[in-house]
Structure formats: C-alpha cells, structure tokens
Amino acid sequence: MLPNSARIKSSSDFARATKSGRRITSDSLIGYLYSSNSNDPAKLGLIVGKTVGNSVVRHRIARQIRHAVREDLNNLPNGTLFVVRAMKKPNNAFHETLNLMEKVTA
C-alpha cells in the first residue's frame, strides 16, 4: 500500500498532471508525468473509470498498478506527479505498468 504522502488527492494536481504533463502510452494504460520544483516526494494518482469494468475489476487493476509503481516511485525526482489512466481492461496491469515505468525512468 502506498503511504498517504505518496498519493495525489487534489483535483488541481490531477488536472495539472494530465493537462501539462508528459504523456507516455502503452496498450491500455496512459501515464502522465509532471515535474515541478517542489520538495514534496513523488506522488501517484490513478484514474480507472467505469469503462474498464465493474467495481471489482477496477479495484483489482488499481491494486496491481499501485503494487507495480510502489518500488519505482522513490526513483522519481521530488516534486513529480505521476498519473496512470486505465483506458480499457489491461490483460496484465502489473506488467503493463512496469513497462510504463521503464519508459518514464528512461
């Protein structure tokens, strides 16, 4: 589980990351990476809409994404906002998220 300090909670942070951030795509996930000059630790936000599936499926995908990002979030510079949006049900959210993180850190 991610600590509270590593989660994006405000809608303004989500909007800033999705509108002004760098966009990285995979088959069914989109990552938005926004860097600021803040000293706050890197934060993660998830967008998993109803088009992905019912509540059980959405929460399973969110847990898989959180688990995949948990280790690599510390490698991102301070002040980074990272938002992951699931566009459709991924075959394997964990591995797709790992591939997305490789693109981000490269």
CATH of the domain at 67: 3.30.230.10
Task: Return the pLDDT at 1.
Answer: 77
Give yes or no for residue 87 having a pLDDT over 80: yes
Task: Identify residue 29 by its one-letter amino acid code.
Answer: L
Task: Return the pLDDT at 84.
Answer: 95
How does strand 29-35 pair with strand 80-86? antiparallel
Domain tally, the chain: 1
The whole-number average pLDDT for the span 20-24 is: 94
Spatial contact of 24 and 31, defined as CB atoms under 8 Å apart = yes
pLDDT in tens, 30-68: 999 999 888 989 999 999 999 999 999 999 999 999 998
**Count of alpha carbons within 13 angstroms of residue 88, beta-carbon side:** 5
Range of the domain at 93: 4-105
Q: What is the pTM for the complete model shown?
A: 0.90
